[in-house]
Structure 1
């Protein structure tokens, strides 16, 4: 975990994941530096930079029905292995929760590796699929490309 100061003056924390290849034989072919570069849609990034107040989205079911995949939160505080956040939408809106670092194994890569990271991504923008079923007070749409046609 590193500390960076952004242009707004608010300190940002950088959380690097811990990636390990599960098959020792494949560890020679897929070094840690390679797995750090992988950025799958359902996985958190290797380098996760967060500030207090940023919106995040949960990538895994942690504590259903309160903390499910797609739940949006705002960061209140950060420690090295726990994020304290407030739920922004749904039945549990306003509840404060703790998000731990958890091990995750992606299924869309040709080899098995484990990433130890917070199961969240920044949620300044989200796809149509992630927004489905959510109620938003304000919404901006980027319609440069046709999104509802093939």
Structure 2
């Protein structure tokens, strides 16, 4: 949907490459069982630190430059990898770390003993924010729920501009509604 809204040929090419890989239409090397990525698909690195430095060079000086941020993203398949990368990147950003905790409870009081709050807080479900969301001004976040389609739809990238006790102010990074 975002590729169609942006009318970006390079984004469409990348999207098609992802679909080709995901649908299993890329030849597999018989000797090692690996697939070969197209030469213009991505850049390879050997460590997470090298990845962060290649994608976000000089983040200390640029974390409030929204045009610079809008051109950078790291994709990861697992929440634990995302959490680890977010932690490392946010530690480089100057500022106070704010913590936003979820309020987890069961709807049926009879089930409260089966699902204690500690258990609910420990769940790390894809598509839901973590129990303890930690952010700094300048952090990049992703909209998880459609609030105002197509302007604020799930997957929209935003940069945090202000943090208060129960409100997060953020600015759209990309798209025609920026």
Q: Which category describes the TM-score, using the shorter chain as reference length?
A: 0.5 to 0.7
> Following TM superposition, by how much is the alpha carbon of 1:30 offset from its aligned partner in structure 2, in angstroms?
0.6
Bigger radius of gyration: 2
Change (3 A) 1:65 1:7: closer
Q: SS in structure 1 opposite 2:104? A: strand
Which of the numbers 130, 138, 141 marks the counterpart of 1:53? Answer: 138
> Following TM superposition, by how much is the alpha carbon of 1:9 offset from its aligned partner in structure 2, in angstroms?
4.3
Q: SS in structure 2 opposite 1:21? A: coil
TM-score (norm 2): 0.47
Gaps of 5+ in 2: 1-90
Structure 1 stretches of 4+ with a deviation exceeding 6 A read: none
TM-score (norm 1): 0.56
Aligned-residue Cα RMSD (Å) equals: 1.7
Give the Cα separation in 1 of the matches to 2:126 and 2:115.
20
Give the Cα separation in 2 of the matches to 1:87 and 1:9.
21
Change (3 A) 1:91 1:81: same
Between the two structures, name the one with larger relative contact order (CA 8 Å, sep ≥ 6). 1
Aligned residues: 89
- Residues 93 and 138 of structure 2 are in contact (CA less than 8 Å); yes or no, is this contact kept in structure 1? no
Give the Cα separation in 1 of the matches to 2:153 and 2:141.
13
Larger proportion of strand: 1
Q: Does 1:82 align with 2:177?
A: no
Give the Cα separation in 2 of the matches to 1:8 and 1:59.
23
Give the Cα separation in 2 of the matches to 1:8 and 1:76.
13
Larger proportion of helix: 2
Gaps of 5+ in 1: 1-5, 94-150
Q: Does 1:39 align with 2:39?
A: no
Q: Does 1:12 align with 2:100?
A: no
> Following TM superposition, by how much is the alpha carbon of 1:37 offset from its aligned partner in structure 2, in angstroms?
0.2
